[in-house]
Structure 1
Amino acid sequence: MANQWPDSTRQSDRRRREDVGERFGEWPDEHWDRLTHQLRSGECTPFLGAGACFRTLPSGGQLSRRLAKRHGYPYRDRDDLAAVSDWLTWKFDDTSYVKYLVCRELSGGPPDFGNPLEPHRLLADLPIPVYITTNYDSFLFQALRYVGKAPHQAICPWHSQIDHSGELLETHAGWNPQPEAPLVYHLHGRLEQPASMVLTSEDYDEFSAALVRNQSIIPPVIRKALTARSLLFIGYGMRDTTFRMIFKGLQTSLPGIVRKRHVSIMLRPKNDHSEGRGGPRTMEYYAHRYEQWRISIYWGTIDEFSGELRRRLGQT
């Protein structure tokens, strides 16, 4: 039987298959060229999540399971840190105490900044003026000092009781940071200020509402870092609800965030069926979802990404 599909349809289908193969195989040289140029020129803003601390601190899921086991959490969603934190707040009737418990679990020492593949060290070596993180730790600040820079830190003032370094942001160092004296901006608070930590569902709701209600809580230098530069997400997972909530909230308050092409490093699913014909392709599905935010996915480990990035930057 003759093939009844028109040439244009077959060509379109072939291009789609080639594109899928490109996205799920080796990362194209064109993506590396763009990213290395942006990193060398300071036109990229690193955006760190909990996975960046995988050698030193528990992930969000590990922390959640640890707290759930220790305090007798009775439900199945033990990987959901916000849900476990909500229950602990109900149990102890004190959000401050729950944040203290979390701080205690995250009191480990810093990573090995002498390891060139350590992600904080990798990023600290780059000529970047602004770094953004949802992590509570100060590892990025410490890594920048380790390589001889003079960094500053500030916190997003999502509620009125946060000491957010407002005076710093009014100085030249705060509103015009430079690669040798960069700014590390903590969107979700810091361990040193437990009240600043976005942890429970109520915290996330208040944080999101604050972004929409008062866009000025994000200072101009951070708005520029989010909208005028590409973003490099390190330490977030495919199903990371924190990541999706943050990006949607920022997109609502800062529509310009989707003008640039961004990159996110993600682990390839262990039980992926991308090569089979039964059921949806996990990686293709998530690539499609993240494409709505103009986020390209590098499928691999942080170590694999760090090693290849250093090689392409000529730092091996």
Structure 2
Amino acid sequence: MQGNVSMRLIERFVPAFCQELQHDGVIDAAMAIARGAVRDMPDHWMPVLYSRLKSGRIWYVPGFADERDNVEKIEAIAGYIGDGLCTPIIGPQLAETRLGTSRMIARMWAERYRYPMESYEREQLAYVAQFLSIKHDYRFPRRSLIETLRQLLIEEYHDVLPDLDRLDLLELYRTIGRHERARDPFDPYRVLAAQPLPIYITANASNMLNEALIEAGKQPVIELCRWNEDLDRLPSIFEREPDYRPSAERPLVFHLFGSFDQPETLALTEDDYFDFLINITGERERIPAIVRDALADSALLFLGFELEDIGFRTLFHSLIKPLRGASRRRRYVQIAGQLMPREDQVLQPDRAIRYLEAYFHDTAAISIFWGSPRDFCVALAAQLAESDRPRRRRGF
């Protein structure tokens, strides 16, 4: 308020403002309607809005842009999951839910190590890691990432879980993952691990998916992508067991960008992602045939990515966009869970949303679910439960 106002104005203005704001969270529209409700009062000019929001939206309801897709697409992906014809592709944000994102780590490193390049690069972990690998050595950013994540996890969970400071990073993820799955029925790892799926692809270097699958009574098989020649020496399940075929009971967990238990396998710097893109595009056999088939001939579910992140763009342009069998893939629904663009990162959020939807739909028939991985898992779990009721009534 720009000055003293009458209680009569407050009694009329505030209910109108709150009622309108509840519809869709657009605060400037709510302000305009509430001011219209008091336009006949002498102090109608007192209410004023100051906002840094470019879209005027202070919250959003998770879902697809077209509300009709909320039921249809979730129902479709649930059907493919039930038939074992869905391939989840898991991004780093599933392990970062309680820690923020890699952007936070990039900012911490940029400040600590005095990153000298453009300010917009200071939130891109691949750029800052590239700087550290040159300033120090190849292993330095990998060791630093493991230790940084370890300290962040200890700080975040020390009040609820004892004796974390004696655990290494993978033990921390194991302990914390067990805690999160026990307290949250819609934990994304818990929901995904419970499904009868033969193949999981992960761009997440943690062991949380593996642990969730074990907890669900399965025997996951871990395989690392040989994205450069140095990794060709790694043992492979397809060499030990040439007849191995992934199943719901013994699913394949395929790590695209490496694993924390072998830091040298991590794709972390800008050069790493360029090498991944060049090598995978030029030598398709670096991706096992059974994984390539799953990417081409099943419904794809992307969870835990930022669509503009270098990791997702590398994955998209090396494996999804150019992959043979794209015509087969269009038979299936493809969904990417994506948080709304941050208002401090884009000039026009609404136009950015429309652009992302159009680009991914036109190039790979991917529909975007606007919400967190957990938001999507809440909707998915509800649909899976609904789909399961008729089968139980029929005695299946």
User: Does the TM-score normalized on the shorter chain lie above 0.5?
Assistant: yes
In structure 2, C-alpha distance between the alignment counterparts of 1:225 and 1:164, rounded to whole Å: 25
Q: Could you list the runs of 5+ residues in structure 1 that have no partner in the other structure? A: 1-20, 273-277
Counterpart CA distance in 2 for 1:227 and 1:36 is 18
1:290 aligns with 2:332: no
Aligned to 2:338: 266
Aligned to 2:116: 74
Task: Give the whole-Å Cα distance in 2 for the aligned partners of 1:74 and 1:279.
Answer: 29
Does structure 2 conserve the Cα–Cα contact (< 8 Å) formed by 1:212 and 1:252? Answer: no
Q: Give the Cα separation in 2 of the matches to 1:104 and 1:22.
A: 37
Conservation of the 8 A alpha-carbon contact between 1:154 and 1:164: no
Shift of 1:168: 1.1
Larger radius of gyration, structure 1 or 2?
2
Query: Which SS does the other structure have where 1:281 is aligned?
Result: helix
TM-score, length of structure 1 as denominator length: 0.84
User: Partner residue of 2:181?
Assistant: 113
Task: Please give the alpha-carbon distance, in whole angstroms, between the structure 2 residues aligned to 1:157 and 1:147.
Answer: 28
Q: Whole-Å Cα distance in 2 between the matches of residues 231 and 257 of structure 1? A: 12
1:188 partnered with 2:257? yes
Write the letter of the residue equivalent to 1:81: L
Aligned equivalent of 1:307: 378
Secondary structure of the residue that 1:78 maps to in structure 2?
helix
Q: CA RMSD in A?
A: 2.5
Q: Distance in 1 between matches of 2:185 and 2:232?
A: 33
The whole-number CA distance in structure 1 between the counterparts of 2:230 and 2:125 is: 23
CA distance in 2, matches of 1:166, 1:226: 23
1:239/1:22 Cα in 2 relative to 1: closer, same or farther (>3 Å)? closer
The offset of 1:302, in angstroms, is 2.1
SS at 1:74 equivalent: coil
Is structure 2 residue 95 aligned with structure 1 residue 53? yes
Tell me how far 1:171 sits from its aligned partner. 5.1
The structural deviation recorded for 1:128 is 0.7
Q: Does 1:35 align with 2:73?
A: no
Residue in structure 2 matched with residue 65 of structure 1 by the alignment:
107
Q: Which residue number corresponds to residue 3 of structure 2? A: none
Q: Output the amino acid matched with 2:289.
A: P
Q: Deviations over 1:103-124 (max 9, x none)?
A: 2223342221222211111100
The 5-angstrom pairing of residues 13-32 of structure 1 reads 23-25=65-67, 27-32=69-74
Match of 1:225 among 272, 294, 297: 294
Give 3-state SS (helix, strand or coil) of 2:302's partner.
Answer: strand
Deviates more, 1:126-135 or 1:173-182: 173-182
**Which is worse superposed, 184-193 or 200-209?**
200-209
1:57 deviation in Å? 4.6
TM-score where L is the length of structure 2: 0.68
Q: Which residue of 1 aligns with 2:317?
A: 248
Identical amino acids, percent of aligned pairs: 30
Distance 1:237 1:231 in 2: 16
Deviations 1:116-162 (A, max 9, x none): 21111110000011000111111100110111111110100112322
Mapped partners of 1:207, 1:281: distance in 2: 31
AA paired with 1:284?
R
**SS state at 2:116 partner:** coil
Q: Distance in 1 between matches of 2:189 and 2:349?
A: 38
Q: CA shift at 1:173, angstroms?
A: 8.5
Q: Does residue 1:140 correspond to 2:188, yes or no?
A: no
The equivalent of 2:275 in structure 1 is: 206
Alpha carbons of structure 1 residues 271 and 195: separation in structure 2 relative to 1, 3 Å: closer
